């Protein structure tokens, strides 16, 4: 094969044209002498249009109209040999400004004679757009987690609001306890997004959704070769949450090994990636949630007492819906408003009989169950008021659990957080449901009135892959 030296002009031009960065050169009079392909793309000027013009062509905001001297010899790059890479704008051929980083360097020959000036241009348009979308997403999350979006006027909920406000302005570890569907995740989001610490990320990890090994790697990250399939280094969720908050949902499901690991993180505020002994400092706020009674678990010996006390520095208990029935009408109108917007309907409310039933129901699935009941009614309702007949059968007939064809159990009392609903279903039942719902776990959860997390748990238990193979 014939090899080319780097100083072969043809070869050099081709190298310059493969660069993602824009690159152009000037002579000692500031006249453009070369213009690579990326420069054509960024500026809109073809090489033949640019070459022969002066560098004023791109009207760089750093020089043009400010300090750009008429005489190139007075330009900073000639005087200092280079200019610092800085963010600025250049003007596109079509007249709009493009955010870039511009770098310039003077090239001299061995006798000190100026050969020319080499300038590179990094286009920041895409980066700026990503940043803008990230800021937009952050604004949306902040809006979604506004305190005003947590509906409730009951005294017990006022206590929760007070706790959210206090927790929002501190970095203390928060433990949120309450039955499934009571709004624990909503509370965690409100604490993060309504305080002084909302500029960092909120990273949520469901501790029951992964096996111990996967959870360890998810939380702590790993280095290449740490285990089969670890093809490259990977940051864990603790590191991703650096400067922000990590929300560990279903903390009661942690294995004893993961409990010790978490305890160390809380105490030492540093982590080690799996397969590596280097310690990395992290600045995170920890929030955890569980529908289990953690104190009871410590008494049974399944949850470490030291970890429990480390977690419950700032405990928040979210009460079940049946203990704050006065919130039901407000929640109902909130979900109706949401439904009207989503489905472009104009449902005005619930008729007397329907509302009476909603007020009487036990709501074992709490607010999630109420939200689902209203969604169900939206599908069936053909007047401007939801009626008793529009409600799901388990609400209408006051069954604590839905009749879905699965074997059902009665609620089991498990301590101060009340009942734990368990739907007994076989692996085959779940596979069938997954197929029916196109492997949408949230939809399966809706059908059996369980959280998506519970569906995950069953999938994990029965070694069902998370995606259809």
Ligand X SMILES: Nc1ncnc2c1ncn2[C@@H]1O[C@H](COP(=O)(O)OP(=O)(O)OP(=O)(O)O)[C@@H](O)[C@H]1O
Task: Tell me the site size for ligand X, rule CB under 6 A.
Answer: 20
Which of 293, 329, 304 has the alpha carbon at shortest distance from 175? 293
Closest separation between CB of residue 227 and ligand X, Å?
A: 29
Name the segment binding ligand X (CB under 6 A); options: 193-201, 208-216, 307-315, 363-371.
363-371
Q: Give the per-residue contact string, 317-336, with ligand X (x = CB under 6 A; - = no).
A: --------------x--x--
Helix (H, G, I), strand (E, B) or coil at 24: strand
How does strand 285-290 pair with strand 245-249? parallel
Name the segment binding ligand X (CB under 6 A); options: 121-129, 306-314, 366-374, 461-469.
366-374
Closest separation between CB of residue 425 and ligand X, Å?
A: 17
Name the segment binding ligand X (CB under 6 A); options: 145-153, 256-264, 306-314, 377-385.
145-153
Q: Which of 31, 101, 124, 151 binds ligand X (CB under 6 A)?
A: 151
The Cα–Cα gap between 4 and 239 comes to 46
Q: Which residue's Cβ lies closest to ligand X? A: 183
Give the DSSP per-residue string, 150-197: S---SHHHHHHHHHHHHHHTS---EEEE--TTSSHHHHHHHHHHTSTT
Give the DSSP per-residue string, 197-233: TTTS-EEEEETTSS-HHHHHHHHHEE-TTSSTT--S-
Interface with ligand X in residues 412-451 (CB under 6 A): 451
Looking at beta carbons only, is 57 or 191 nearer to ligand X? 191
Q: Which of 26, 72, 75, 367 binds ligand X (CB under 6 A)?
A: 367
Closest separation between CB of residue 388 and ligand X, Å?
A: 23
Is 109 in contact with 115 (CB distance < 8 Å)? yes
| Alpha helix positions (H), 269-304 | 294-300
Angle between helices 452-461 and 427-436 (to 10 degrees): 130
Closest separation between CB of residue 448 and ligand X, Å?
A: 13
Interface with ligand X in residues 227-266 (CB under 6 A): 249
Interface with ligand X in residues 183-202 (CB under 6 A): 183-186
Closest separation between CB of residue 180 and ligand X, Å?
A: 4
Looking at beta carbons only, is 370 or 433 nearer to ligand X? 370
Closest separation between CB of residue 381 and ligand X, Å?
A: 20
Q: Give the per-residue contact string, 334-353, with ligand X (x = CB under 6 A; - = no).
A: x-------------------
Name the segment binding ligand X (CB under 6 A); options: 180-188, 192-200, 262-270, 393-401.
180-188
Is 320 in contact with 365 (CB distance < 8 Å)? no
Is 455 in contact with 466 (CB distance < 8 Å)? no
Which of 407, 455, 449 has the alpha carbon at shortest distance from 431? 455
Residue 273: left (phi > 0), alpha (psi -120 to 50), or beta?
Answer: beta
Closest separation between CB of residue 296 and ligand X, Å?
A: 17
Q: Which of 192, 291, 310, 357 binds ligand X (CB under 6 A)?
A: 291
Angle made by CA atoms 290, 293, 298, in degrees to the nearest 5: 110
Give the DSSP per-residue string, 386-434: E-GGGS-HHHHTT-SS--SSSEE---EE-STT-EE--EE--HHHHHHHH
Q: Which of 24, 78, 98, 152 binds ligand X (CB under 6 A)?
A: 152
Does 163 sit near ligand X (CB under 6 A)? no
Query: Which residues make up the interface to ligand X (CB under 6 A)?
Result: 150-152, 178, 180-186, 249, 291, 331, 334, 367-368, 371, 451, 453
């Amino acid at each position: 094969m014939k090899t080319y030296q780097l100083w072969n002009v043809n070869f050099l031009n081709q190298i310059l044209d493969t660069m993602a960065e824009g690159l152009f050169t000037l002579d000692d009079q500031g006249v453009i002498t070369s213009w690579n392909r990326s420069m054509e793309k960024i500026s809109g000027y073809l090489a033949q249009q640019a070459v022969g013009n002066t560098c004023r062509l791109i009207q760089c905001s750093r020089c043009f109209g400010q300090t750009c001297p008429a005489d190139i010899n007075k330009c900073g790059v000639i005087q200092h040999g280079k200019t610092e890479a800085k963010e600025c704008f250049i003007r596109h051929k079509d007249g709009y400004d493009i955010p870039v980083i511009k770098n310039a360097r003077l090239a001299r020959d061995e006798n000190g004679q100026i050969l020319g000036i080499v300038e590179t241009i990094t286009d920041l348009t895409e980066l700026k757009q990503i940043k803008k979308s990230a800021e937009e997403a952050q604004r949306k999350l902040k809006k979604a987690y506004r305190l005003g979006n947590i509906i409730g006027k009951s005294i017990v909920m006022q206590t929760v609001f007070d706790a959210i406000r206090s927790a929002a302005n501190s970095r203390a570890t928060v433990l949120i306890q309450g039955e499934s569907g009571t709004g624990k995740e909503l509370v965690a989001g409100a604490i993060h997004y309504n305080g002084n610490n909302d500029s960092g990320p909120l990273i949520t990890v469901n501790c029951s959704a992964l096996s111990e090994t996967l959870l360890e790697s998810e939380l702590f990250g790993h280095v290449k070769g740490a285990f089969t399939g670890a093809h490259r280094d990977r940051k864990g969720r603790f590191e991703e949450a650096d400067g922000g908050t990590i929300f560990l949902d279903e903390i009661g499901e942690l294995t004893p090994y993961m409990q010790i690991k978490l305890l160390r993180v809380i105490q030492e505020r540093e982590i080690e990636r799996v397969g590596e002994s280097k310690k990395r400092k992290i600045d995170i706020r920890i929030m955890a949630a569980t529908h289990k009674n953690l104190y009871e678990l410590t008494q049974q010996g399944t949850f470490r007492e030291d970890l429990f006390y480390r977690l419950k520095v700032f405990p928040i208990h979210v009460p079940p819906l049946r203990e704050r029935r006065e919130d039901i009408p407000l929640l109902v109108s909130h979900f109706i408003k949401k439904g009207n917007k989503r489905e472009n309907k104009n449902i005005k409310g619930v008729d007397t009989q329907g509302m009476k039933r909603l007020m009487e129901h036990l709501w074992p699935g709490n607010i999630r169950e109420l939200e689902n009941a209203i969604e169900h009614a939206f599908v069936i309702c053909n007047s401007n008021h939801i009626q008793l007949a529009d409600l799901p059968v388990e609400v209408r007939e006051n069954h604590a659990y839905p009749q879905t064809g699965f074997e059902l159990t009665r609620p089991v009392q498990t301590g101060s957080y009340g009942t734990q609903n368990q739907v007994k279903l076989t692996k085959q039942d779940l596979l069938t449901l997954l197929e029916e719902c196109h492997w949408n776990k949230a939809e399966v959860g809706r059908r059996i009135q369980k959280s998506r997390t519970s569906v995950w748990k069953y999938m994990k238990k029965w070694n069902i892959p998370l995606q259809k193979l």
